[in-house]
């Protein structure tokens, strides 16, 4: 799995309802992949249920496990977030360590991506769950960017602004700072206009909550990628 091959990804929450018709529209929309992951009430059962439904279609299916207990075999790939701002080691290497310790003998390592996240929305659930340092000041945000891009030379940087849309000027600033990493962005992309604006400054967009708020508008975000 190479996330650089993806421009557009839909993210589905296994704890939220989605009809068969809506799922068909998502999977046949032309999106590059579907990520299955969430923060609350995620279980092995609801992950398996949603994965089996997505598997009816040809689209790549990726899991973003929030706990080793819900990590499930059968996905095309796995994203393990590395929360660089977190004060808790569990959100750095903890979940990945537990996964490899338990399932290392059966893992296809080419299917795993350890992806650094920068959480820019201090109101997001994940910001508080991971006990993140704030990046309200641009100097702090750019310092984390430089650590990942210039020091660690990370293939990816995921800008997570879950629950809202980031100030586009901050995305522009990030784009101008990055020299190496592939920029992934998720948060507040609910329609074609926003997707088009965001895609000027990132390499991959993640459309998540918009699916559950207005699926017709969310589906149109794929059109922006096709015309890019």
Q: What is the reported pLDDT for 223?
A: 87
Q: What is the mean pLDDT of residues 159-166?
A: 92
Is 91's pLDDT higher than 90? no
Is 89's pLDDT higher than 90? no
What letter would DSSP give residue 131?
T
Residue ranges covered by each domain of the chain: 3-115+184-226
Angle made by CA atoms 207, 210, 214, in degrees to the nearest 5: 140
Per-residue pLDDT band for 68 (boundaries 50, 70, 90) equals: confident
Q: In this structure, what is the dihedral angle of CA atoms 126, 85, 101, 184, given to the nearest 10 degrees? A: 70
More confident residue, 96 or 175: 175
What letter would DSSP give residue 165?
P
Mean pLDDT (the chain) is 92
Q: Which residues pair with 157 in a beta bridge?
A: 183
Half-sphere exposure at residue 77, Cβ-oriented, CA atoms within 13 angstroms: 20
Per-residue pLDDT tens over the stretch 122-157? 988 888 888 999 998 999 999 999 999 999 999 999
Half-sphere exposure at residue 19, Cβ-oriented, CA atoms within 13 angstroms: 4
Q: What is the reported pLDDT for 155?
A: 96
Tell me how far apart the alpha carbons of residues 148 and 125 are, in angstroms, rounded to a whole number: 23
What letter would DSSP give residue 25?
H
Q: How many CB atoms lie within 10 A of CB 42?
A: 20
Tell me how far apart the alpha carbons of residues 4 and 2 are, in angstroms, rounded to a whole number: 5
As a whole number of Å, the CA-based R_g of the chain is 17
Q: What is the reported pLDDT for 102?
A: 83
Q: What is the reported pLDDT for 117?
A: 95
Q: In terms of residues, how long is the chain?
A: 228
Q: How many CB atoms lie within 10 A of CB 66?
A: 17
Per-residue pLDDT tens over the stretch 114-131? 999 999 999 888 888 889
Q: What is the reported pLDDT for 225?
A: 78
Residues 6+ apart with CB under 8 A from 106: 73
Per-residue pLDDT band for 227 (boundaries 50, 70, 90) equals: low
Q: What is the mean pLDDT of residues 79-88?
A: 92
Q: What is the reported pLDDT for 99?
A: 81
Classify 57 as helix, strand or coil.
Answer: coil
Say if domain 3-115+184-226 classifies as CATH 3.20.20.390: yes
Give the residue from 18, 3, 22 showing the smallest Cα distance to 219: 22
Tokens representing 75 are 């996905």
Q: What is the reported pLDDT for 90?
A: 86
Tokens representing 210 are 């918009």
Q: What is the reported pLDDT for 18?
A: 96
Per-residue pLDDT band for 216 (boundaries 50, 70, 90) equals: very high
Is 48's pLDDT higher than 70? yes
């Amino acid at each position: 799995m190479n996330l650089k091959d993806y421009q557009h990804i839909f993210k589905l929450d296994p704890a939220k309802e989605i009809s068969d018709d809506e799922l068909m529209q998502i999977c046949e929309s032309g999106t590059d992949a579907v990520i299955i992951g969430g923060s609350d009430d995620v279980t092995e059962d609801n992950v398996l249920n949603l994965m089996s439904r997505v598997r009816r279609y040809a689209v790549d299916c990726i899991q973003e496990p929030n706990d080793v207990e819900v990590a499930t075999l059968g996905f095309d790939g796995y994203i393990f977030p590395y929360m660089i701002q977190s004060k808790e080691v569990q959100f750095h290497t903890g979940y990945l360590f537990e996964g490899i310790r338990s399932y290392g003998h059966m893992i296809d390592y080419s299917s795993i991506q350890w992806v650094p996240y920068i959480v820019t929305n201090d109101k997001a659930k994940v910001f508080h769950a991971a006990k993140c340092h704030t990046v309200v000041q641009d100097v702090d945000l750019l310092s984390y960017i430089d650590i990942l891009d210039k020091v660690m030379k990370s293939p990816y940087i995921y800008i997570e602004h879950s629950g809202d849309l980031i100030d586009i000027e901050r995305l522009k600033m990030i784009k101008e700072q990055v020299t190496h990493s592939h920029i992934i962005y998720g948060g507040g992309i609910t329609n074609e206009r926003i997707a088009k604006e965001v895609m000027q400054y990132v390499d991959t967009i993640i459309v998540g909550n918009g699916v559950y708020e207005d699926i017709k508008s969310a589906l149109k975000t794929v059109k922006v990628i096709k015309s890019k």
